[in-house]
Amino acid sequence: MQLLAHGGAGGDPDDPETRQQQLDRAVQAGADADDPEAAVLATVHELEASPRFNAGSGSAVQSDGVIRTDAGLMREDGTTGAACSMPGVEHAGDVARVVAHETPHVLLAGENAIALAEAFDVATDGDLWSEQQRQRWAELDPPDTDDRGEHLRWVREQFGGTDTVGAVAVEGNRLAALTSTGGRWCALAGRVGDVPQVGAGFYASEHAAVSATGAGEAIARFGLSRWVDDTIADGADPATACERGMTAFEEATGDTAGVIAVDREGRTGGAFNSDSMQTGSSR
């Protein structure tokens, strides 16, 4: 099994050594799995449980003071599932798996995604607030008004952050990609970024598996994960494809992101233009 994971593209972390240790443990948990899909699910499950990453229990808070999680999963055979806008769901990746295997759909949102999760024993009542996020939110002063325009002005002032977690894996002819997030800080309530959008935050084909992280709106407009996969399909190795993808992304959007990939030969690659993007690998 070749497995590669990232802890998000963003600013320099406060405690990079501890985060790296957690990334390495998460990768080890995935490396023992039976197949690539199980590997990325196990890896991301560990990262979602850590308050040090913007996914699951460490997620960003939306403008109404609610944390909502998103995830997207894809395999080389086209099996795809995604779920978004889920308050109380720590393991959004597990819901994406349910959508992929138990429904005829690709993406499910909000209360209906939560109802599906409950039907398949995925916990939906988690406390996703880390102490850091709770303190940060308490220091804000949201406008106490029903004026939508004023609220939107406040959102634009506060909106930011780019972290996400993700993993890609290959074994034999099987590949899988999974990306999970708590979104961006103080996004408008109900905002959905790149993570659950096929070809943006995640993508897999017979050629490669890709996970992206960063400024979600720009990643979605550009289609970063699919761009990298297409470049690998055209003959580039993953390292080259990721570097080219980031160059093209920055030229097109002027924004920040990161991307990791693995191809069917087990070669891996990653690139970013943010201050930091920590990764962990099974080899």
pLDDT at 274: 94
Q: How far apart are CA 170 and CA 17, in angstroms?
A: 27
Q: Answer whether 247's CB lies under 8 Å from 224's CB.
A: no
DSSP 8-state class, residue 13:
P
pLDDT at 279: 97
pLDDT at 14: 79
| Residue keyed to tokens 């995935």 | 30
What pTM was computed for the model? 0.95
State both tokens at 240: 């080259």
DSSP 143-203: --S--HHHHHHHHHHH-B----EEEEEEETTEEEEEEEE--SBTPPTT---STTSBTTTEE
Q: Answer whether 211's CB lies under 8 Å from 166's CB.
A: yes
Q: How far apart are CA 94 and CA 100, in angstroms?
A: 10
State both tokens at 176: 């899988």
Going by C-alpha positions, the residue among 190, 191, 194, 265 that lies closest to residue 224 is 194
Number of H helices, E strands in the chain: 9, 11
pLDDT at 145: 63
Residues with a known catalytic role: 164
pLDDT at 82: 98
What pLDDT tens digit does each residue of the chain (283 aa) get?
999 999 999 888 878 999 999 999 999 999 999 999 999 999 999 999 999 999 999 899 998 889 999 999 999 999 999 999 999 999 999 999 999 999 999 999 999 999 999 999 999 999 999 888 888 888 887 777 677 787 788 778 777 776 799 999 999 999 999 999 998 888 888 999 999 999 999 999 999 999 999 999 999 999 999 999 999 999 999 999 999 999 999 999 999 999 999 999 999 999 999 999 999 999 7
pLDDT at 138: 85
Domain ranges of the chain: 2-199
pLDDT at 188: 86
Q: How far apart are CA 191 and CA 66, in angstroms?
A: 11
Q: How far apart are CA 260 and CA 61, in angstroms?
A: 26
pLDDT at 20: 95
> With b meaning 16 or more CB within 10 Å and e meaning fewer, what string describes 170-184?
bbeebbbbbbbbbbb
| List of residues 6+ apart from 128 with CB closer than 8 A | 56, 57, 58, 59, 67, 69, 87, 88, 90, 182
Q: How far apart are CA 144 and CA 160, in angstroms?
A: 21
